[in-house]
Amino acid sequence: MTYIITEPCINVKDTACVDVCPVDCIHPRKDEEGFAEAVQLYINPDECIDCGACEPACPVAAIFPEEEVPEKWKSFIPVNYDYYKK
Ligand code: SF4
């Protein structure tokens, strides 16, 4: 299981989630290449430990456990996975 970042993050990229993630699996960070160009942040599904810390930290409620992603935002599940296949 993993958490997934969905549509409300687009063009927000608050990064509060990045600050609370204990395993640094949310990218790009502000200090990483590609942050300015990224439309949203993404959770690495292979590294996420499902701790849930990011979900309440997000000011726009963009983060959900994979199995609880709202139907209208299910397309963001492969969007998060695919970011780390590059
Ligand atoms: Fe990081 Fe925990 Fe959120 Fe997974 S659930 S992205 S490990 S803060």
pLDDT in tens, the chain (86 residues): 999 999 999 999 999 999 999 999 999 999 999 999 999 999 999 999 999 999 999 999 999 999 999 999 999 999 999 999 97
pTM reported for the whole predicted model:
0.97
Which runs of consecutive H residues, i.e. helices, occur in the chain? 16-20, 54-57, 76-83
Q: Is the beta carbon of 4 within 6 A of some atom in ligand 1?
A: no
Q: Is the CB of 56 under 6 A from ligand 1?
A: no
- DSSP β-bridge partners for residue 42: 27
Sequence length of the chain is 86
Which residue CA neighbors atom 1 of ligand 1 most closely?
A: 21
Of the candidate CATH numbers 3.40.50.150, 3.40.50.620, 3.30.70.20, 3.40.50.10300, the domain formed by 3-83 belongs to 3.30.70.20
Q: Residue 46's Cα: distance from chain center in Å?
A: 13
